[in-house]
A = this chain, B = another copy of it.
């Protein structure tokens, strides 16, 4: 079965996020002072072939740990859904 995964990888809450901080500070300059606390991470979509949803989740977890996320600085969450095949 084919599953579609959507992964969010964000800087850990305890860490500074200089890119997000810079963007926060610039919101005023584009006329949007109402916006703050910007934090910037990665959004990754992928497909995974697996026998069932549990196996698919295990593979996506491995991909995050081995290749996609830096566990020292980032945390990840993801959702998977089966791809409908007509």
> Smallest distance from the beta carbon of A64 to chain B beta carbons, Å?
11
Cβ A67 vs Cβ B23 within 8 A: yes
Chain A interfacial positions (CB closer than 8 Å to B):
6, 8-10, 20, 23-24, 26-27, 30-32, 34-50, 59-60, 62-63, 66-68
> Smallest distance from the beta carbon of A16 to chain B beta carbons, Å?
15
> Smallest distance from the beta carbon of A18 to chain B beta carbons, Å?
14
Cβ A38 vs Cβ B32 within 8 A: no
Residues of B within 8 A of A34 (CB): 48-50, 59
Partner of A35, one of B10, B23, B63: B63
> Smallest distance from the beta carbon of A48 to chain B beta carbons, Å?
5
